[in-house]
Amino acid sequence: MSSEAEENKAIVRRFEEELARGNLDVIDELAAPDFVDRSLIPGQGPTREDFKRSVAEFNTAFSTTGFTIEEQIAEGDTVVTKIRQSSFGRGEFAGVPLSEEERTHEGIYIHRISGGKITDEWSMGESSPVWEDLAKEVRQRERVEQELRLARSIQQASLPREVPTLEGWQISPFYQPAREVGGDFYDFLELKDGRLGIVVGDATGKGVPAALLVTTTHSMLRAVAQALGSFSPGEVLAQVNETLLARIPINMFVTCSYAILDPKSGSLRYANAGHDLPYLWYGGDAEELRARGMPLALMSGMSYQEGEASLREGNCVPFYSDGLVEAHDPEGEMFGFPRLRALVAKHAEERSLGDFLLEELYSFVREGWEQEDHITLVTLRCSAPLSGTSENSVRKLSEKSHERAKRLTIRRLIAT
């Protein structure tokens, strides 16, 4: 073998051994300024500086416990080296958590030498721990992204495509999803005699399970409201509770606020299944529309208290999800119910309540806020005088057993 071939083998041997020891200076010493890494490793550039950064990141993420050059072959300006290396992870590499288990891999490295400097490197690793972990992470991320896309499409399909138009009323929905798909939903139910059902809810869970639960609840609310033909929101929630219990896993449930508006009289009858309470704004004050009720699908035989509010011109009612009140500023302080209620009371009649609340929210969380949960806000506003409407009043109605709803079997509901 020629002396040049032996010299080239020695250059590569020293290069690889020093890199295994963590000596990055050897790159400047033995790699040519126009060195090119041709290994095509994802996320890594081809230049000498790119190579140096990659080796530094590797040495930070892995602790080498064994290194052996098992064989070298040199011909002309090319050296082929077989390396056996053992290492274990200590943290992460390229954003991928690494195993602390010691693993061994073998790799073939090809170097081209010119004028005593390495000009090119190719690596062909076999079962490299880092690339195994990276490949697993990529596959997992692809699965997660597929699930997110599916969940988003399911959830988007359950949202109303149109906002109802009622003379003398303004209905303004706002829905802002977070990156992770949650269980927020809202809906409008057109009932007989021109009444309108307004629903805002939140299903437990994330991803596809939450999206499917939203779809199921959405369908059940519509089916029950039509089957019962009832103007009692508590009666509807009681039946939906029984129906959901028979259809979803025991560890899942839904919170929901359901109100029925009579646009002619301004009467708003409401019931609540463990959801955040809406407020009634009138003349510089805000009153909770409180009604007792457990979340849907927790247990059988639930009844839901009802209340009734009389709305007049200028009055507003915001229905919302917990993503609004649980948003927090950079210091970790939550937007919170007291702040929301104070802002509803402070709202000026000539302004859109929904726009006002969202402006205050974004001002509170400030720039750079990372939204962690969906935000749903549906505002109802009486925009014209109503005949026969007296002063505002909010009253609790008697808590009903809703026996009629309990007698309506699931079979009859589905048939309807």
Lowest mean pLDDT among 25-39, 120-134, 150-164: 120-134
Q: What is the mean pLDDT of residues 277-289?
A: 88
- 371 or 375: which leads in pLDDT: 375
Would you kindly state where each structural domain of the chain is located, as residue ranges?
A: 3-140, 159-415
Q: Is the pLDDT of residue 332 over 70?
A: yes
Q: What angle (nearest 5°) sits at the alpha carbon of residue 266, between those of residues 304 and 314?
A: 115
Strand arrangement of the beta sheet that strand 62-75 belongs to? 31-37, 117-126, 103-114, 78-89, 62-75
Q: What angle (nearest 5°) sits at the alpha carbon of residue 200, between those of residues 198 and 202?
A: 155
Mention the CATH class of domain 3-140: alpha beta
pLDDT at 348: 67
Mean pLDDT of the chain: 81
Q: Is the pLDDT of residue 236 over 90?
A: yes
For 137-193, how does the pLDDT look when each residue is reduced to its tens digit (9 = 90+)? 656 666 766 766 776 677 666 778 889 999 999 999 998 876 666 678 899 999 988
Task: Evaluate the CA torsion angle 58, 64, 70, 74 in order and state its sign.
Answer: positive
**Are the CB atoms for 107 and 125 separated by under 8 Å?**
yes
What is the SS3 assignment for 213-241? HHHHHHHHHHHHHHHHCCCCHHHHHHHHH
For 73-120, how does the pLDDT look when each residue is reduced to its tens digit (9 = 90+)? 998 899 999 998 888 877 776 666 676 778 787 888 899 999 999 999
Residue with tokens 């008697």: 398
Helix-strand-coil split of the chain, %, nearest 5: 35, 30, 35
Element (H, E) at 267: strand 267-273
Q: Is the pLDDT of residue 26 over 60?
A: yes
Report the percentage of the chain scoring pLDDT > 90.
33
Q: In the structure encoding, which two tokens stand for residue 243, read together?
A: 């129906």
**pTM of this structure:** 0.62
Lowest mean pLDDT among 84-88, 239-243, 262-266, 285-289: 84-88
Query: What CA dihedral angle connects 185, 186, 187 and 188, to 10 degrees?
Result: 180
pLDDT at 79: 93
For 344-369, how does the pLDDT look when each residue is reduced to its tens digit (9 = 90+)? 888 766 678 888 888 888 888 877 66
Cα separation of 150 and 212, whole Å?
A: 10
Report the range out of 52-66, 127-141, 278-292 with the highest average pLDDT: 278-292
Confidence of residue 411 (pLDDT cuts 50, 70, 90): very low
pLDDT at 372: 66
Cα separation of 390 and 55, whole Å?
A: 77
At 251 the three-state DSSP class reads coil
Q: In the structure encoding, which two tokens stand for residue 131, read together?
A: 């690339």
Strand arrangement of the beta sheet that strand 267-273 belongs to? 184-190, 196-203, 254-262, 267-273, 306-310, 393-396
pLDDT at 131: 56
Cα separation of 255 and 273, whole Å?
A: 5
pLDDT at 278: 94
pLDDT at 275: 93
Q: In the structure encoding, which two tokens stand for residue 230, read together?
A: 């009832």
Q: Is the pLDDT of residue 126 over 80?
A: no
- 22 or 140: which leads in pLDDT: 22
List, in order, residues 6 or more apart from 165 with CB less than 8 Å away: none
Fold category of 159-415 in CATH:
Phosphatase 2c; domain 1 (3.60.40)
Q: Which of 34, 26, 78 is nearest to 52 (CA)?
A: 26
**Are the CB atoms for 36 and 119 separated by under 8 Å?**
yes
Q: What is the mean pLDDT of residues 44-49?
A: 84
Strands 31-37 and 117-126: parallel
